[in-house]
Amino acid sequence: MKCPACGHDNPEGTLFCEECDWRMDQTPKKLRMGINSVYAAYIAAAVGITSVVSALIDVAWAATVFGIAGTAISGYAQTAVRLSHVKGKLRTTLVAIAGIGIVTSVVGMVYGLTMLF
C-alpha cells in the first residue's frame, strides 16, 4: 500500500509508513491536512522565491503580490503540518520548506513595497 504522505510503497497491512512514519489508518481530516501541507509547503517556497527573484529584477508589483501570497500560503502550510499526523523526517522537511517560503516571501514583499512607495 502506497503511503498517502510520501508515496513510499509499504507492505500490505503496515500501520506506520517505513519511510516517513505516517500512520496509514488515520482520520480523513488529518490525512487531508497532511496532503495539503505537502502541497502548500512547496507552493509557498516556489512563490516566495518568485517574489525575491521579482524584487531582484526590479518588478516591484510582482515582488509585493507574490510576497503577500507566499506569506499566506506558508502560514497555512505550517498550520496544516501541525494539524496533520505527519511526523519524523517528513515533518521536519515540510516545516523547513514552509520556513523558506516565509523568509523569501517577507524579503520579497518588503523589497517590493520599498520600491513601490
Regarding 52 and contact with Zn ion (CB under 5 A), the answer is no
Nearer to Zn ion, 17 or 44 (CB): 17
Minimum CB separation of residue 63 from Zn ion in Å reads 36
Q: Concatenate the DSSP letters of all residues of 49-115 into one string.
A: HHHHHHHHTT-HHHHHHHHHHHHHHHHHHHHHHHHS---HHHHHHHHHHHHHHHHHHHHHHHHHHHH
Q: What cell numbers appear for 30 in the block?
A: 488529518
Question: How many binding residues for Zn ion (CB under 5 A)?
Answer: 8
Task: Show contacts with Zn ion in window 7-46 (CB under 5 A).
Answer: 8, 17, 19-20, 22
Q: Which residues bind Zn ion (CB under 5 A)?
A: 3, 5-6, 8, 17, 19-20, 22
